[in-house]
């Protein structure tokens, strides 16, 4: 079965640069979630979208923005990158927004900021 696809899988950027992470949900899923997991830390919820509208917002810095497109894929844009942004960024998808109790995770994008 098709899973959540994230690209790129690895990304190396320098401080103050910009990065864009992409997430392609499972076909027919309408909800996308973004999580950030720093080295040795627990995952933190960043933001979610349901039917192309932002549905929940967590601990997402103002330097980050995200959107969900008409084909339901989502992009996380990160500007003015800082060393502390180095982390594994997971995307998850589900069907039915907050009513769903199952989120399927992608493999993650490992971002390294130097």
Q: Identify which of residues 8 and 58 has a Cβ nearer to another protein in the complex.
A: 58
Is there binding between residue 96 and another protein (CB under 8 A)? Answer: no
Cβ pair 14, 114 in contact under 8 A: yes
Cβ pair 110, 38 in contact under 8 A: no
Cα-Cα-Cα-Cα torsion 72, 51, 74, 43, nearest 10 degrees, comes to -130
Is there binding between residue 30 and another protein (CB under 8 A)? Answer: no
Q: How far is the CB of 100 from another protein (least distance, A)?
A: 8
Please list every residue from 44 through 63 that binds another protein, using CB under 8 A. 44-45, 55-59
Q: Identify which of residues 56 and 75 has a Cβ nearer to another protein in the complex.
A: 56
CA separation for the pair 114, 100 (Å, rounded):
38
Q: Using CB under 8 A as the criterion, which residues of the chain lie in contact with another protein when the complex forms?
A: 3-4, 42-45, 55-59, 92, 101-107
């Amino acid at each position: 079965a098709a899973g959540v696809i994230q690209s790129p899988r690895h990304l190396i950027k320098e401080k103050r640069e910009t990065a864009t992470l992409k997430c392609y949900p499972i076909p027919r899923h309408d909800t996308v979630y973004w999580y950030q997991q720093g080295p040795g830390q627990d995952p933190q919820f960043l933001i979610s979208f349901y039917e192309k509208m932002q549905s929940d917002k967590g601990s997402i810095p103002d330097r980050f923005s995200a959107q969900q497109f008409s084909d339901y894929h989502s992009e996380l844009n990160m500007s003015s990158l800082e060393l502390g942004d180095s982390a594994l960024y997971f995307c998850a998808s589900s069907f039915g927004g907050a009513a769903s109790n199952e989120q399927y995770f992608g493999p993650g994008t490992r971002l390294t900021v130097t």
